[in-house]
């Protein structure tokens, strides 16, 4: 598995555990209701998931999308979104490179 993808998933899981723990502490003291804690946890994790899936492809590149290791499509240049943890994108450089042969 791609280390970057596994690090993102680990970060999201770690943040979820932290938010649940802190929410439980605040909920026990009566500072905030359990419903508000659950709602804010879901909102924060959704925003992180949406932002974490954004990928930028330069004009001279194309993005090859692999879903669970199987080719599922090619993305064009611009801002694209993938499902983190399920999909990964490999950028392919389309520029022509020249070398001198002695």
pLDDT 10s digits, 45-87: 888 888 888 999 999 999 999 999 999 999 999 999 999 889 9
Domain count, the chain: 2
Q: Based on the fold, state whether residues 48 and 63 are members of the same structural domain.
A: no
- Residue 102 has what pLDDT? 84
Q: Based on the fold, state whether residues 2 and 31 are members of the same structural domain.
A: yes
Q: Based on the fold, state whether residues 47 and 63 are members of the same structural domain.
A: no
Mean pLDDT of all residues in 39-46: 82
CA–CA gap between residue 46 and residue 49 (Å, rounded): 5
Q: Based on the fold, state whether residues 4 and 33 are members of the same structural domain.
A: yes
Q: Based on the fold, state whether residues 37 and 75 are members of the same structural domain.
A: no
As a whole number, the mean pLDDT across the chain is 83
Q: What is the domain range of residue 65? A: 54-102
Q: Based on the fold, state whether residues 96 and 69 are members of the same structural domain.
A: yes
Q: Based on the fold, state whether residues 46 and 81 are members of the same structural domain.
A: no
Q: Based on the fold, state whether residues 45 and 77 are members of the same structural domain.
A: no
Distances (CA, A) of 8 to 2, 60, 71, 91, 96: 10, 26, 21, 18, 33
């Amino acid at each position: 598995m791609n280390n970057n993808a596994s690090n993102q998933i680990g970060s999201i899981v770690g943040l979820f555990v932290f938010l649940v723990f802190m929410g439980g502490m605040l909920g026990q003291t009566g500072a905030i209701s359990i419903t508000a804690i659950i709602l804010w946890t879901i909102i924060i994790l959704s925003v992180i998931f949406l932002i974490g899936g954004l990928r930028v492809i330069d004009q001279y590149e194309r993005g090859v999308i692999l879903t669970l290791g199987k080719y599922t499509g090619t993305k064009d240049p611009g801002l694209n979104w993938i499902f983190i943890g399920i999909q990964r994108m490999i950028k392919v450089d389309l520029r022509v490179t020249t070398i001198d042969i002695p």
